[in-house]
Structure 1
Amino acid sequence: MHNHFVSIVRGHECKTTAWSGGATTELLIDPPGASYQERNFSWRLSVATVDDPESIFTALPEVKRILLLLRGQVRLVHEGHYETALRPFTQDTFWGDWRTHCYGRATDFNLMTRTPYRGSVAPLFLTGQEPQRLTFDQDITGETGILVLYVWQGGLTVSVDGRNYRLRAGDVCRIEAGQGETPSVILVNRDRKPAKGVITTIYKERKDG
């Protein structure tokens, strides 16, 4: 018996709100019913547009952030820490309570986590008919691992233990595995144009001792 579930969120179901430098589309937030405005989330995935040539990121104490650029070019200046230049499908990891200036217009993918949750993001490029297999890393968590696929451009089919789900641009697929489970996840692009997106892994950190 499989102890995992798959949920699909279509792009038109995601809500978009304004922030000081552009707009943010929330893809997923956990736990269910949590609110970004109330800062009571464990983790959150979103896509944001940076419309102003210069902006300051919203302060988010106790939140670890990973930002992966989808389009455009930006320079992030973390006051008192470092600065970095990003181009499409490169990323930066930083703390939400840092004062961060952003220079440039862009579209970016964001993962926000609060302790004990952590995560990672990786670019997804899928061309032609060659399937791509994804795996859950069972070493990083003693509890539940979460794999999230976000399609930014194009479309693909994700197969989870033989059951197929069709994803188009803007769609999100969340796959949650039970402890010790390794569901088979296979991605196939049946379209002529490449599929581009982001693969996110979210997990609970182990407690020492």
Structure 2
Amino acid sequence: MTITLIPREGATVGVWSGGTTTELALYPPDGSYAQRRFLFRISSADVQLEESTFTPLPGVTRYITPLTGGFTLTHPDGSSVVMEPLDTPYRFDGGVPTVSRGRAADFNLMCKGCGGVMTLAEGTDLALPGFNYYMLPAGGEVTAGGFTYRLRPLDLLLIETDRSVPVRTDKALVCRIDL
């Protein structure tokens, strides 16, 4: 088991038509979001337009939840979801056209060719075999492997393990990836 604190200061910030995106994690490390060469990506976007269209990402499973603000996501089949801060993460096909209405800061997981899920956790949790990224929207502490880690908002704590590991956490968004 390895545990790595990934401070937000090392993140890459990019500009898109609706605001900015902070790339917090990308795998493999030599991958490229721009070239669509990645297995998974964790990011946070600051959506500054009232209405924006998501970049089409065929073959990518996406998870999203607002950190602040809120939005409504709408798909061409008429389905939509209204989301408020820290709602249960919404899973959708990145290849389906998606329009967002509402200004927000959000948290995203994109998986391409690997299994992944984003969940909310608080109190006792279990890091599962694979990659487990913890992000505490309000900051706080995560205890795992006999150590306590203090995280600020948008810092990530990566627990990479081949077995289940008990974790104690303040309110967290958890991205679990199984390659």
Give the TM-score taking structure 2 as reference length.
0.91
**What's the CA shift for 1:196?**
4.5
Report which stretch shifted further, 76-85 or 16-25.
76-85
Alignment of 1:12-161 (within 5 A): 12-80=9-77, 82-90=79-87, 91-115=89-113, 117-125=114-122, 132-137=123-128, 144-156=129-141, 158-161=142-145
5+ long unaligned stretches in structure 2: none
Q: Secondary structure at the match of 1:184?
A: strand
- How far, CA to CA, are the matches of 1:62 and 1:177 in structure 2? 26
CA root-mean-square deviation: 1.7
Q: Secondary structure at the match of 1:12?
A: helix
- How far, CA to CA, are the matches of 1:167 and 1:46 in structure 2? 16
Read off the aligned partner of 2:105 and give its amino acid letter.
T
Match of 1:183 among 155, 165, 168: 165
Aligned partner of 1:140 in structure 2 is none
Question: What are the Cα deviations for residues 79-118 of structure 1, in whole angstroms up to 9, with x where unaligned?
Answer: 1251111111123211111111111101111000012x12
Q: Secondary structure at the match of 2:85?
A: coil
Read off the aligned partner of 1:78 and give its amino acid letter.
H
Name the count of aligned residue pairs: 178
Structure 1 pair 183/196, CA: closer, same or farther in 2 (3 Å)?
A: closer
Percent identity for Structure 1 against Structure 2: 33
Aligned partner of 1:201 in structure 2 is 176
Q: Secondary structure at the match of 2:137?
A: strand
Q: Given the alignment of the two structures, is residue 168 of structure 1 paired with residue 138 of structure 2, yes or no?
A: no
Question: What are the Cα deviations for residues 49-104 of structure 1, in whole angstroms up to 9, with x where unaligned?
Answer: 11000110011111110111111121111112511111111232111111111111
- How far, CA to CA, are the matches of 2:131 and 2:99 in structure 1? 31
User: Contact 2:127–2:159 at 8 Å: present in 1 too?
Assistant: no
Question: What are the Cα deviations for residues 109-157 of structure 1, in whole angstroms up to 9, with x where unaligned?
Answer: 1000012x122222345xxxxxx222134xxxxxx4221101222322x
Compare CA radii of gyration and give the structure with the larger one. 1
Give the TM-score taking structure 1 as reference length.
0.79
Runs of 4+ in 1 over 6 A off after TM superposition: none
Read off the aligned partner of 1:99 and give its amino acid letter.
P
- How far, CA to CA, are the matches of 1:81 and 1:93 in structure 2? 16
